[in-house]
Amino acid sequence: MPIMDSKTGKVKRDYTIEELVDKAREMRAYNMVAITAAGSGHTGGTLSVMDIAAALYLKKIRHDPQNPNWEDRDRVFWSTGHKAPALYVALGEAGYFPVKEAVKLRKLWSGFEGHPNRLTLPGVELSAGSLGQGLGVAVGCALNAKLESKAYRVYCINGDGELDEGSIWEAIMCAAHYKLDNLVSIVDRNGLQIDGPTEEVMKLESLVAKWRAFGWNSIEIDGHNMKEILAALDEAAKMKGKPTVIIAKTVKGKGVSYAENVVAYHGIAPKDGRSGKESLDRALENIGDPSFTKEKVDELLKIADDYQKEVNKKIEVSMPQFSRNYWWNSANGMKVEMDATRNGFGRAIKKLGSDKRVVALGADITSSIRMNEFYAEHPARKKRFFSMGIAEANMTVVASGLAKEGKIPFIGSYGVFITGRNWDQLRTTVCYNNFNVKVADAHGGISVGQDGATHQALEEISNMCYLPNMHMVIPCDAIETEKATEAIAFVEGPGVVRYAREATPLVSTIATPYKFALANIIRYRGEKKNFIEAFEVRLSSDYESENEDLSIIACGPMVAEAMRAAYILKEEYRIEVRILNVHTVKPIDEEAIIKAGEETGVIITAEEHQVGGFGNIVAGVIARGKRYQAPLLMEMVGVEDKFGESGAPWELMKTFGLTAEHIAQRAKKLYQRKKGE
Q: Using CA atoms, how far apart are residues 319 and 661, in angstroms rounded to an integer?
A: 7
The pLDDT value recorded for residue 625 is 87
Q: Could you report the per-residue pLDDT of 90-123, keeping only the tens digit for each?
A: 999 999 999 999 999 999 999 999 999 999 999 9
Q: What contacts 373, CB < 8 A, 6 or more positions away? A: 346, 347, 349, 350
Percent of the chain with pLDDT over 70: 100
Q: Could you report the per-residue pLDDT of 656-675, keeping only the tens digit for each?
A: 999 999 999 999 999 999 88
Over residues 624-635, mean pLDDT = 84
pLDDT at 294 over 80: yes
269, 256 Cβ separation under 8 angstroms = no
Q: Using CA atoms, how far apart are residues 370 and 413, in angstroms rounded to an integer?
A: 10
pLDDT at 630 over 90: no
Q: Could you report the per-residue pLDDT of 327-350, keeping only the tens digit for each?
A: 999 999 999 999 999 999 999 999
Q: Could you report the per-residue pLDDT of 485-494, keeping only the tens digit for each?
A: 999 999 999 9
Q: Could you report the per-residue pLDDT of 156-168, keeping only the tens digit for each?
A: 999 999 999 999 9
Angle at CA of residue 199, ends 247 and 358, nearest 5°: 140
Over residues 208-227, mean pLDDT = 98
Question: By 3-state DSSP, what share of the chain in percent is helix, strand and coil, each rounded to 5?
Answer: 45, 15, 40
The pLDDT value recorded for residue 1 is 60
Structural domains of the chain in order of their starting residue, each with its CATH number: 3-287 (3.40.50.970), 339-505 (3.40.50.970), 519-674 (3.40.50.920)
Q: Could you report the per-residue pLDDT of 631-653, keeping only the tens digit for each?
A: 899 999 999 999 999 999 999 99
End-to-end CA distance of the chain: 70
pLDDT at 629 over 80: no
The pLDDT value recorded for residue 628 is 67
Beta bridge partners of 189: 249
**Which amino acid, 77?**
F
Output the average pLDDT for the chain.
97
Over residues 254-277, mean pLDDT = 94
